[in-house]
Amino acid sequence: MLLTCQNIQKSFGEKNVLDQVSFHIEEREKVALIGSNGAGKTTLLRIIRKELEPDGGQAVLAKGVSLGYLAQHQDVHSSRTIYQELLKEKQYLLNIEEKMRQTELDMKQASGDALEKLMNTYASLTQQFEQNNGYACQSEVTGVLKGLGFSEQDFHKQISTLSGGQKTRVSLGCLLLGKPDILLLDEPTNHLDMDSIVWLETYLINYPGAVLIVSHDRYFLDRIVTRVIELEYGKSMTFSGNYTAFSQKKAQVREAQIRAYQNQQQEIRHQEEVIAKLKSFNREKSIRRAESREKKLDKITLLKKPVTEENAMHMRLEPRIESGKDVLAVDNLAKSFGPTKLFQNLSFEVKRGERVALIGSNGTGKTTILKLINGLIAPDEGTCSLGSRVQIGYYDQEHQVLHMEKTIFEELSDTYPTLTHTEIRNVLAAFLFTGDDVFQNISSLSGGERGRVSLAKLMLSEANFLILDEPTNHLDILSREILEEALNNYTGTLLYVSHDRYFINQTATRILDLTNHTLVNYMGSYDYYLEKRDELTAKYAPAQESSKPSPAVSQEKLSWKQKKEEEARKRKRENDLKKTERRIEELEERDGEINQLLSQPEIATDVQQCT
């Protein structure tokens, strides 16, 4: 057992965040820690890391267990490049390699006992280097960087020039290369595109240590975890299986709790009616019987009323008017920013009632396409045409459509001046803004709170064509499920960008994959996309042959890292050759000894000694 949490309690003021939370983590376990926003997940991780003291209970790490932590937001300060920052996690191997090189030089000048001692030292260093996969350490760094979505051109960028999301990816890379016994990951898929998330899934599934993951990415959790710990109203509950198994079991537990509570309440009401009736007879025998029943009733352990999802947002999307059958036509669209070409000759249509997901790697231009359709930027070539009676509702992941200087109430009242004060209050309450919350400035809100304001505006828009850019960002799992239900019941047309594969699987009827500067169309869910991706990409969006270096020039274009890796492999071959030569010498010497022994008659005639 690597980690044990026993009866952990934590309050902030009058708010009880964690109440008797207990669980444990075994070796190689992959565990999810889930709960709604504000449930105390990050607080619990901070307690485990000894960054925060609990009010009660304790988090105990087994002796010698190392702990690695990835926070949601990283502010890495370093003068190193991205590659150098990750390579420092392998510094102990680089130090061993440096000692090996120095020992090689010293061996050339030594003889006798000194040489023998150096050879033993060299053999020990080589064994240590090989056991820790030293010859592949730089390849491992390169693989992790590429897996996390960095190109080789990015490797030499200074850490100080990176965005917050890029710094978080660098921190994640350092953490993975450090290979602690327990990984604590707080929203690790934030800032990763789909390809990087898939790579991370595979990496974590095969990770030799234990992993405790806080994530709202349900597809990610389904692929990795074998146990789910839920935090709800300060309490913890553990379920075996992945997220889907948890969801099903949680529904069964909730139903059983509700039935048990209702049955107990019904029995209490029945007993109270019987007691009242017995007392009404006003006879000594009846009164004694009533008192006996009262004593039994007092001894009943009352079940708490199961908490319903009363603290969830409520959302209903309805178009005011129906659009024409043809909603959107995009023809030969092209866009570049400076020398960077995002796409060209893009053409597609969206029909009324479709729910289309636009997917692709980071930087391919998905958000740009949405902005072109909305007329926020101009295309280099091509057109975007809306059909008759089409009214757009736009959700921007950066929330640039919100006015930072306004309060939440003003944001809605100024956009929809015909709404009464009460109507605005009711809408905001449905999105969890009550009391004086509505007078907070937009600029002071968190990302999740701004997202809820944008969704409230979207609901009021009564648009028949919704264009959404990463609508599930900053939403907890319950809010995502509510949004999914609202979109599935929506009778208008939907076009959205998302990296949330579970969300796409639940809502999309068609997928457009932006890859190799063009679009590939998939008539189905995300599971269908996975099934057909390789086949249709090869057919409709093959990789540019020119982007592949020819064998004749590949050696000339090797980066310094690749050259060092090649040199390391060469040294390994040389060391293996030396070992083989030494072994041959030993065997030849032994062969001579055996021949000499066989020349002796007393041995040559003794069958037992000869064998």
Element spanning 16, H or E: strand 15-25
d(CA 148, CA 200): 8
Q: Is the CB of residue 526 less than 8 Å from the CB of residue 501?
A: yes
pTM: 0.75
* Beta strand spans in 188-339 (E): 210-214, 227-232, 235-240, 326-337
- Per-residue pLDDT, 576: 72
Tens-digit pLDDT profile for residues 111-138? 888 888 999 998 999 999 988 888 888 8
Q: Is the CB of residue 296 less than 8 Å from the CB of residue 248?
A: no
**Amino acid letter for position 586:** E
**Amino acid letter for position 150:** F
d(CA 60, CA 167): 30
Q: List alpha helices for 132-163, DSSP H.
A: 137-147
Q: How confident is the model at residue 392 (pLDDT cuts 50, 70, 90)?
A: very high
Q: Is the CB of residue 320 less than 8 Å from the CB of residue 391?
A: yes
Classify residue 411 by burial, with Cβ atoms within 10 Å: 0-12, 13-18, 19+: buried
Q: How confident is the model at residue 308 (pLDDT cuts 50, 70, 90)?
A: low
Q: Give me the half-sphere count of Cα atoms (radius 13 Å) on the Cβ side of residue 587.
A: 6
Residue with tokens 């390849």, as numbered in its chain: 139
Query: What DSSP line would sit under 472-532, residue for residue?
Result: TTT--HHHHHHHHHHHHH--SEEEEE---HHHHHHH-SEEEEEETTEEEEESS-HHHHHHH
* Beta strand spans in 220-318 (E): 227-232, 235-240
What mean pLDDT, rounded, does the chain reach?
88
Residue 576: both structure tokens together: 């293996």
- Per-residue pLDDT, 549: 40
Which sign does the torsion angle of CA 237, 7, 179, 50 carry? positive
Between residues 576 and 517, which one has the greater pLDDT?
Answer: 517
- Per-residue pLDDT, 145: 93
Tens-digit pLDDT profile for residues 42-62? 999 999 999 999 999 999 999
d(CA 66, CA 179): 9
d(CA 477, CA 215): 9
- Per-residue pLDDT, 415: 92
**Amino acid letter for position 6:** Q
d(CA 66, CA 45): 15
**Amino acid letter for position 523:** M
**Amino acid letter for position 174:** C
- Per-residue pLDDT, 74: 66
- Per-residue pLDDT, 552: 36
Tens-digit pLDDT profile for residues 478-537? 889 989 999 999 999 999 999 999 999 999 999 999 999 899 999 999 999 999 999 999
**Residue 322 CB contacts under 8 Å (≥ 6 apart), including other chains:** 352, 389, 464, 491
